[in-house]
C-alpha cells in the first residue's frame, strides 16, 4: 500500500471540493447579470403621497420619489400655483405626478385628502394602492411661550400631530404589505428654541407615531420611520439675508444650511427596498446640528 504524505483531506473530500468549484464556476457564468442600478428607478411602479409638497422639503421629496419612478400625489392646501409648478417640473423631467388639495387640521381632513388621492390613483393606474406615505405638512409657531394662545396651541396640534395620525389610519387600507410610511419630525425635538415649544411638542408626537405604528405594522412588512431635518432653506425670506444664513450655517457640522434635496434624498432611501430592515427609527438629517 502506498503511504499518504501528510494528513491531507479525508478520502473523497478532494472530489467534493472539485465538484463545488465546478458548480460555482457554472453559476458565475450562467446566472443572468443584475441590471444596472440606474436603468430602472428603485421605485418604479410605486405610488406615493407627500403632504405639503408644493415647496421646500416636500417638493424636493416629491421630485426625488418621482425621479426614482414613483407616481406622486402632490398635496397642497392653498397655493395651487406652487403645487402645479411641482407637478410640471416632475413631468418635464420625465416623471409622473398629480396635485391634490386638502386643508389639514379640520374635521374630516384625512378622508378628504385620501379620497382625492384614491381618485387620482385610480384614474392613472386603475387601482387605489398607495405604496409610500410621507407626512411632511406642518406649521410652525414663532411665538414666545407666554404668548401662546389656546387657539394657536390647538391649531398646531391639529395640523402637525392629529392630521398625520388620522392620515396614517385612513391610509392603512390602501397600503400594501411592504409599504412605507415616513413622518417628518424636526431637530427641535433634540435642542431648544423656546419660540417653537408647541411645534416641538407636536413633532415629538410624530416621533411616537412612528415608533408605535412600526410595531403595529411590522407583521405586514410596512416600515414606519421619522426623519428630523435641521435648518433647511425652504425659500423663506430669512434665507435671503447673508448674515442670517452665515449664523445658521455655523450650527451645522458642515458649515452650511441644509438644502431641501439633502432631506428628500434621505426620505427616498427610507421609501426604497434598501431600507426594508429599518423601522421605528429616528433619522437625524440635521447636517450634524445635533452634535453640539
Predicted confidence (pLDDT) at residue 162 exceeds the cutoff of 90:
yes
Among 252, 235, 244, 207, smallest CA distance to 60 is for: 235
Predicted confidence (pLDDT) at residue 4 exceeds the cutoff of 50:
no
What one-character DSSP code corresponds to residue 48? E
Q: Which residues contact 235 (CB under 8 A, 6 or more apart)?
A: 55, 56
What is the model's pTM? 0.85
**Do residues 101 and 80 make contact, with C-beta atoms less than 8 angstroms apart?**
yes
**Do residues 193 and 249 make contact, with C-beta atoms less than 8 angstroms apart?**
no
Predicted confidence (pLDDT) at residue 28 exceeds the cutoff of 50:
no
Is residue 52 left, alpha or beta, with left meaning phi > 0 and alpha meaning psi from -120 to 50?
left
Grid cell for residue 77:
392646501
Predicted confidence (pLDDT) at residue 32 exceeds the cutoff of 50:
no
Mapped to the 3 state alphabet, what secondary structure does 135-155 carry?
A: ECCCCCCCCCHHHCCHHHHHH
Binned at pLDDT 50, 70 and 90, residue 38 comes out as very low
Q: Report all structural domains of the chain as residue ranges with CATH numbers, in order of start.
A: 44-291 (3.40.50.720)
What average pLDDT does the structure give for the chain?
A: 89
Say whether 76 is catalytic. Answer: no
Task: Kindly name the residue from 76, 98, 199, 213 that is annotated as catalytic.
Answer: 199
Grid cell for residue 204:
415629538
Grid cell for residue 182:
415616513
pLDDT tens digit sequence for 213-226: 999 999 999 999 99
| pLDDT value of residue 23 | 38
What one-character DSSP code corresponds to residue 162? I
Average pLDDT over residues 227-251: 92
Amino acid at each position: 500500500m502506498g503511504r499518504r504524505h501528510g494528513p491531507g483531506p479525508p478520502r473523497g473530500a478532494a472530489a467534493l471540493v472539485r465538484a463545488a468549484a465546478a458548480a460555482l464556476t457554472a453559476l458565475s457564468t450562467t446566472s443572468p447579470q443584475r441590471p444596472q442600478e440606474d436603468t430602472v428607478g428603485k421605485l418604479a411602479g410605486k405610488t406615493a403621497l407627500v403632504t405639503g409638497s408644493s415647496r421646500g422639503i416636500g417638493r424636493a421629496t416629491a421630485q426625488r420619489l418621482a425621479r426614482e419612478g414613483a407616481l406622486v400625489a402632490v398635496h397642497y392646501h392653498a397655493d395651487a400655483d406652487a403645487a402645479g409648478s411641482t407637478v410640471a417640473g416632475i413631468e418635464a423631467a420625465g416623471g409622473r405626478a398629480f396635485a391634490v388639495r386638502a386643508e389639514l387640521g379640520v374635521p374630516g381632513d384625512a378622508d378628504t385628502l385620501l379620497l382625492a388621492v384614491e381618485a387620482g390613483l385610480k384614474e392613472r393606474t386603475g387601482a387605489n394602492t398607495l405604496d409610500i406615505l410621507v407626512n411632511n405638512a406642518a406649521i410652525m409657531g414663532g411665538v414666545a411661550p407666554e404668548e401662546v394662545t389656546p387657539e394657536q396651541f390647538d391649531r398646531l396640534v391639529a395640523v402637525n400631530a392629529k392630521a398625520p395620525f388620522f392620515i396614517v389610519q385612513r391610509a392603512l387600507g390602501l397600503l400594501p404589505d411592504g409599504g412605507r410610511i415616513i413622518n417628518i419630525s424636526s431637530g427641535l425635538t433634540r435642542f431648544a428654541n423656546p419660540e417653537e415649544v408647541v411645534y416641538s411638542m407636536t413633532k415629538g408626537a410624530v416621533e411616537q407615531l412612528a415608533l408605535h405604528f412600526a410595531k403595529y405594522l411590522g407583521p405586514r412588512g410596512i416600515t414606519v420611520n421619522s426623519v428630523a431635518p435641521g435648518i433647511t432653506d425652504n425659500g423663506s425670506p430669512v434665507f435671503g439675508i447673508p448674515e442670517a444664513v452665515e449664523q445658521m450655517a455655523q450650527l451645522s457640522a458642515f458649515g452650511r444650511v441644509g438644502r431641501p434635496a439633502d432631506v428628500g434624498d434621505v426620505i427616498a432611501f427610507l421609501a426604497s427596498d434598501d431600507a426594508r430592515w429599518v423601522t421605528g427609527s429616528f433619522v437625524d438629517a440635521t447636517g450634524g446640528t445635533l452634535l453640539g
